[in-house]
A and B are shown apart, each in its own frame.
Chain A
Amino acid sequence: MSDVTRLSVFKTYKLYVGGKFPRSESGRVYEVTDSKGSWLANAPLSSRKDARDAVVAARKAFGGWSGATAYNRGQVLYRVAEMLEGRKGQFVREVADAEGLSKSKAAVAVDAAIDRWVWYAGWTDKIGQVVGGANPVAGPFFNLSTPEPAGVVTVLAPQESSFLGLVSVIAPVIATGNTAVVVASEKSPLPALSLGEVLATSDLPGGVVNVLSGRTAEIAAPLAAHQDVNGIDLTGADEALAKELEIAAADNLKRVLRAERTDWSADPGTSRLTAFLETKTVWHPTGSLGASGSAY
C-alpha cells in the first residue's frame, strides 16, 4: 500500500473564440489568485490580435445566429442552463475562490446565474412582441416595427461579480440575436473561461460568444475602436476607461451601454435586452378595398 495521495490534474485555462479554445496568440499568461492572494491558475493574457480575431469570429457567427428562429435561440439558451446545472459544483468552487465567498454563498450566486439563463431563454421569442408591433399610421399603409440585433457587441463583464454578473451581461446580448466578444473580469477570469466550456457543449454555434481574459483596458481599447463592432457594454470599465472607450466608440457610432451600479441578484428587467436592439419599420400600401362603400 502506498501512502502517496493522488496528485490532482490542473486545468489549462484557455480562451474561447470561434467555438475553439486557443491560447493567446501572444503566448502570454498572467497569474490569477484567489481573494487571499494564493495562486489559482495562469490565465491567457489576451492581446489586441486576440481581440480582433474574436471580432472576426463573432461577425462570422452573426448571420446564422441572428437568422435563427427565436424559438431555436431560446432552446439553446435553456440548454446552457441545463449544462450549468450539471457542472454546478465546479462553478461554486470557482466563484468561491474568485470572490472569497463561502461555499453556500457562492452556491446562491451560481443558482441565480443558472436561473438567469432560464429567464433570458424565455425572452427570445417574446421581446419582439413587447417592443415591436403594428403602428396605426394615418393612411392606407401596413406599418410594422420589429426589433433586430445590432450586430457584434463587445461586453466588458463586471469586475466583481465574476459569474452571476458575467451571465447577466452576456445572456441578454445573445438572446436577441447579437454575437458577443466578452472581456472577462480581469481579476477573476476563471469562471468566465470555464463558461466557455459550457457554451461549447450547449448547441451554441461557435463564435456567438467569445471569451477573452487579460487586462481589460488593453483588450477593450481595440474593441471600442473596431469598425466592425456595433455596440459596447461598458459595465466592466472604471470611470476613466469608460470615458476613453466611449470616445473611441463614437468613431463608428457604436451603441454604448454605460456602466451603472447594478444589483446582480435583482430582477434584471428588459433594459439589457433592448440596449443592443435596432428597430426596423417596414411600410407597405394596403390599398383601400371597399373604400367606395361597396360591401364587396
Chain B
Amino acid sequence: MASVFEYAPAPESRAIVDIAPSYGLFIDGEFTEAADGKVFKTVSPSTEEVLAEVARAGAADVDRAVKAARKAFEKWSALPGAERAKYLFRIARIIQERSRELAVLETLDNGKPIRETRDADLPLVAAHFFYYAGWADKLDHAGFGRRTTEGGGGAGPRPLGVAGQVIPWNFPLLMLAWKIAPALATGNTVVLKPAETTPLSALFFADICRQAGLPKGVVNILTGYGDAGAALVEHPDVNKVAFTGSTAVGKAIARSVAGTDKKVTLELGGKGANIVFDDAPIDQAVEGIVTGIFFNQGQVCCAGSRLLVQESVQDELLDSLKLRLATLRVGDPLDKNTDLGAINSAEQLARITALADAGEAEGAERWSPACELPSSGYWFAPTLFTNVTQAHTIARDEIFGPVLSVLTFRTPEEAVAKANNTQYGLSAGIWTEKGSRILAVAGKLRAGVVWANTFNKFDPTSPFGGYKESGYGREGGRHGLEAYLDV
C-alpha cells in the first residue's frame, strides 16, 4: 500500500507559536503562581518533549479565583447585554486572527493532527464565541418565559453568578469555548479548569481576554489536576457547575452538588452506534465510519465506536472499510497529511491498550492495517474488532481511542434495540437511502445527537448533549443558554 499513497512530509511550522518556559494561573486578570508554589509539566504527546511548566492550582487558588469571579460578577452582569456582546465579538475576532498560532499550539499540546485543529477545532471555537456574542443582548427574546416561582416576580432571565467549569483534554480550546461563551453572554463570570495534559491553549486564551480588554476577574483560568476541579465544583460560592469528561467523575459531581442550589450540566461518556443498512451507499458510509471513530484518534465522547452493520452487507462493507483504513496516515500531528495523531497521554494509551486486549481475550477478532508507529510518543494503530457481541467489554465500555467494535443486525428493530442497549445515550449514526427509515430509526434512538448519512458534525447553533448516563443539559444553540440562566 505504501507505494500507492506515499506522500512527502508537509509539516506545519511551529515557529508561529511562542511557548514560554513557564505559566502561572490566570486570576483576576493577572498571571500568578500557585499559593503553594506547585507546578507541573505539560508534554507534547507525539514526542514526549516538555513544552512548558505550568502552575498547579490548589484549594487556596480556587478560593482566590472564585472570589475574583464573584467580585467581577456585579459589574459584568449589570453591563448592558450589547456591551457584553461586543467583548465576545472581540474575542471571536482575535481567535480568528490568531487561529493558526492556536491550531499549532493545540496540536503540540494535545497530539491531534493539524488538519483537525486548523479545519475543525479553531473555526468552531471562533464561531462559538461569535454565535453567543449575538445572544447577549437578546436574552429576553430567547423564549424562556417568565420566572414564576416565588421571588421571580415575572422578571426576564437572570445570570446565575459564578460558573465553575471543568473541561477535558480532547478538544481543549473548543470545550473552553462551549463553556465560556454562553456563560459570559448570559452575564455570569467564570472559573475554568482545563485538563492537566492540555493546559496551554486555555492560558493563551487568557491572553486573548487581556487583548480584548475583558474586565478583570470575568474569566479566571486555573491549571491543575482533579483535586483543583473537585475543589472548584465543591466551592460554596459557585452557582453553576459545567463539566465535560468521564461518566464516573460526572456522577461524583452530581453527588457532591446534591442538596445545594448549584445548577449543573454534565456532558459525559458515550458508546455511539453507527448503523449501516443494506441500502446505504457503501463508500459514503465507509467515510462516515472513519470520521466517526478515527476523528481525533477516537478520543471523542460522541464517537461512533460501535458499528452496527446489516448482516447482508457486512462482508462488502468490512472489505471496503479495511481498504480505507490501510490508507490512513498515522504520525507527526504537525504534518498536514496526517490523519491520525498521537494519543493524548501515556495514561490514556494504557487504558486503550487494556481495553483492546480485553477485546481479544474475550474472543473478538482484532485487525489493524499495517502501520508503522513513531518510536517516541503515545501511539495506537487504528483497530477494528469483528465478532463482537453485546456482552463484550469493547461493546459496552467507552474506549476513547481509535478502536471500532463491529456488530451485526438483521432488522431495523434489532438495530435499534442494540443501539439503545447501553448506559450511554450521546450520539448515533444512521446510513440508509430510505428517508422514512431514517426518521423512524432516529425517532427510536435514545441519543441526544443523531447523524443521518453523516457523522461528527458540530455547529454552535446545534444543541449537543446526552440522554441517560451521557449526562444532562445541552450545550450549543438557544438550548445552551438555559444552563447559565435562572429559568
Contact string, A23-34, partner B, CB cutoff 8 A, digits 1/0?
Answer: 000000000000
The answer to the question of B477 belonging to the interface, with a C-beta cut-off of 8 Å to chain A, is: yes
Number of interface residues of B (CB under 8 A): 47
- B105 CB to nearest A CB, Å: 24
Q: Which residues of chain B from 246 to 285 have any CB-CB distance to chain A below 8 Å in the complex?
A: 247, 250-252, 254-255, 258-259, 261, 266, 268
Q: Which residues of B contact A283 (CB under 8 A)?
A: 449-452, 454, 457, 462
- B394 CB to nearest A CB, Å: 22
Q: Please determine whether A271 and B148 come into contact, CB atoms closer than 8 angstroms.
A: yes
Q: Please determine whether B463 and A145 come into contact, CB atoms closer than 8 angstroms.
A: yes
With A135-B459, A135-B477, A242-B259 given, is the CB distance from A141 to B149 under 8 Å?
no
The answer to the question of A68 belonging to the interface, with a C-beta cut-off of 8 Å to chain B, is: no
Stretch at the interface among A3-11, A180-188, A210-218, A248-256: A248-256
Q: Please determine whether A135 and B462 come into contact, CB atoms closer than 8 angstroms.
A: yes
Q: Which residues of chain A from 238 to 296 have any CB-CB distance to chain B below 8 Å in the complex?
A: 239, 242-244, 246-247, 249-253, 255-256, 258, 260-263, 266-271, 278-285
Q: Which residues of chain B from 468 to 487 have any CB-CB distance to chain A below 8 Å in the complex?
A: 468-469, 471-472, 474, 477, 479, 487
With A143-B462, A145-B463 given, is the CB distance from A261 to B469 under 8 Å?
no
Contact string, B440-467, partner A, CB cutoff 8 A, digits 1/0?
Answer: 0010010111111110010101111101
Q: Which residues of A contact B461 (CB under 8 A)?
A: 135-138, 143
With A253-B266, A278-B467 given, is the CB distance from A143 to B150 under 8 Å?
no
Q: Which residues of chain A from 140 to 166 have any CB-CB distance to chain B below 8 Å in the complex?
A: 141, 143, 145, 150
The answer to the question of B324 belonging to the interface, with a C-beta cut-off of 8 Å to chain A, is: no
With A135-B459, A252-B468 given, is the CB distance from A246 to B454 under 8 Å?
no
The answer to the question of B127 belonging to the interface, with a C-beta cut-off of 8 Å to chain A, is: yes
Report the separation of the CA atoms of residues A138 and B459 in the bound assembly, to the nearest whole angstrom: 7
Report the separation of the CA atoms of residues A246 and B253 in the bound assembly, to the nearest whole angstrom: 11
Q: Please determine whether A282 and B146 come into contact, CB atoms closer than 8 angstroms.
A: no
Report the separation of the CA atoms of residues A150 and B446 in the bound assembly, to the nearest whole angstrom: 9
Q: Which residues of chain B from 294 to 340 have any CB-CB distance to chain A below 8 Å in the complex?
A: none
- B178 CB to nearest A CB, Å: 15
Report the separation of the CA atoms of residues A130 and B143 in the bound assembly, to the nearest whole angstrom: 8
Report the separation of the CA atoms of residues A279 and B477 in the bound assembly, to the nearest whole angstrom: 11
Q: Please determine whether B148 and A268 come into contact, CB atoms closer than 8 angstroms.
A: yes
Q: Please determine whether A145 and B255 come into contact, CB atoms closer than 8 angstroms.
A: no
Q: Please determine whether B459 and A280 come into contact, CB atoms closer than 8 angstroms.
A: no
Report the separation of the CA atoms of residues A270 and B145 in the bound assembly, to the nearest whole angstrom: 7
Q: Which residues of A contact B147 (CB under 8 A)?
A: 269
The answer to the question of B59 belonging to the interface, with a C-beta cut-off of 8 Å to chain A, is: no
Q: Which residues of A contact B462 (CB under 8 A)?
A: 135, 137, 143, 145, 281, 283
- Kindly report which residue of chain B lies nearest to residue A246, judged by CB atoms: B258
Report the separation of the CA atoms of residues A138 and B438 in the bound assembly, to the nearest whole angstrom: 22
The answer to the question of A37 belonging to the interface, with a C-beta cut-off of 8 Å to chain B, is: no
With A145-B463, A145-B477, A253-B472 given, is the CB distance from A282 to B450 under 8 Å?
yes
- B51 CB to nearest A CB, Å: 32
Report the separation of the CA atoms of residues A262 and B152 in the bound assembly, to the nearest whole angstrom: 11
- Kindly report which residue of chain A lies nearest to residue B452, judged by CB atoms: A284
Q: Which residues of B contact A278 (CB under 8 A)?
A: 448, 467
- B216 CB to nearest A CB, Å: 33
The answer to the question of A139 belonging to the interface, with a C-beta cut-off of 8 Å to chain B, is: yes
Q: Which residues of B contact A261 (CB under 8 A)?
A: 149-150
Report the separation of the CA atoms of residues A15 and B266 in the bound assembly, to the nearest whole angstrom: 36
With A139-B457, A246-B258, A252-B469 given, is the CB distance from A280 to B448 under 8 Å?
yes
Report the separation of the CA atoms of residues A141 and B450 in the bound assembly, to the nearest whole angstrom: 13
The answer to the question of A124 belonging to the interface, with a C-beta cut-off of 8 Å to chain B, is: no
- A20 CB to nearest B CB, Å: 28
Q: Which residues of B contact A282 (CB under 8 A)?
A: 442, 449-452
- Kindly report which residue of chain A lies nearest to residue B254, judged by CB atoms: A250
Report the separation of the CA atoms of residues A243 and B255 in the bound assembly, to the nearest whole angstrom: 9
- Kindly report which residue of chain A lies nearest to residue B461, judged by CB atoms: A135
- B78 CB to nearest A CB, Å: 25
Partner of A145, one of B258, B438, B467, B479: B479
Partner of A255, one of B438, B445, B472: B472
- A235 CB to nearest B CB, Å: 11
- Kindly report which residue of chain B lies nearest to residue A134, judged by CB atoms: B461
Contact string, B411-453, partner A, CB cutoff 8 A, digits 1/0?
Answer: 0000000000001000000000000001000100101111111
Q: Please determine whether B149 and A260 come into contact, CB atoms closer than 8 angstroms.
A: yes
Q: Please determine whether A141 and B457 come into contact, CB atoms closer than 8 angstroms.
A: yes
- B286 CB to nearest A CB, Å: 16
Q: Which residues of B contact A263 (CB under 8 A)?
A: 149-150
Q: Which residues of A contact B472 (CB under 8 A)?
A: 253, 255
Q: Which residues of B contact A284 (CB under 8 A)?
A: 438, 452-454
- Kindly report which residue of chain B lies nearest to residue A143, judged by CB atoms: B462
- B59 CB to nearest A CB, Å: 22
The answer to the question of A230 belonging to the interface, with a C-beta cut-off of 8 Å to chain B, is: yes
Report the separation of the CA atoms of residues A85 and B452 in the bound assembly, to the nearest whole angstrom: 47
Q: Please determine whether B463 and A250 come into contact, CB atoms closer than 8 angstroms.
A: no
Report the separation of the CA atoms of residues A261 and B152 in the bound assembly, to the nearest whole angstrom: 11
Report the separation of the CA atoms of residues A141 and B127 in the bound assembly, to the nearest whole angstrom: 17
Q: Please determine whether B459 and A253 come into contact, CB atoms closer than 8 angstroms.
A: no
Q: Please determine whether A281 and B450 come into contact, CB atoms closer than 8 angstroms.
A: yes
Contact string, B141-164, partner A, CB cutoff 8 A, digits 1/0?
Answer: 001011111100000000000000
Report the separation of the CA atoms of residues A285 and B449 in the bound assembly, to the nearest whole angstrom: 14
Q: Which residues of B contact A243 (CB under 8 A)?
A: 258-259
Q: Please determine whether B250 and A253 come into contact, CB atoms closer than 8 angstroms.
A: yes
- Kindly report which residue of chain A lies nearest to residue B423, judged by CB atoms: A252
- A116 CB to nearest B CB, Å: 13
Q: Which residues of A contact B465 (CB under 8 A)?
A: 279
Q: Please determine whether B464 and A281 come into contact, CB atoms closer than 8 angstroms.
A: yes
Q: Which residues of A contact B268 (CB under 8 A)?
A: 253
Q: Which residues of A contact B463 (CB under 8 A)?
A: 135, 145, 279, 281
Report the separation of the CA atoms of residues A139 and B462 in the bound assembly, to the nearest whole angstrom: 12
- Kindly report which residue of chain A lies nearest to residue B123, judged by CB atoms: A138
- A123 CB to nearest B CB, Å: 12
- Kindly report which residue of chain B lies nearest to residue A273, judged by CB atoms: B145
Interfacial residues, chain A to chain B (CB-CB below 8 A): 130-131, 135-139, 141, 143, 145, 150, 230, 239, 242-244, 246-247, 249-253, 255-256, 258, 260-263, 266-271, 278-285
Report, nearest first, the 7 A-B pairs whose CB atoms are least far apart: A243-B259, A250-B254, A246-B258, A137-B459, A269-B148, A135-B461, A250-B255
25 A–B contact pairs at CB < 8 A? A135-B462, A136-B461, A138-B461, A141-B454, A143-B462, A145-B479, A242-B259, A243-B258, A246-B258, A249-B254, A253-B266, A253-B472, A260-B149, A261-B149, A261-B150, A263-B149, A269-B146, A278-B467, A280-B447, A281-B463, A281-B464, A282-B449, A283-B451, A283-B454, A284-B454
Besides A246-B258, A261-B149, A281-B463, 8 new A-B residue pairs in contact (Cβ under 8 A), listed by A number? A141-B454, A243-B259, A252-B468, A253-B268, A260-B149, A278-B448, A279-B465, A282-B450
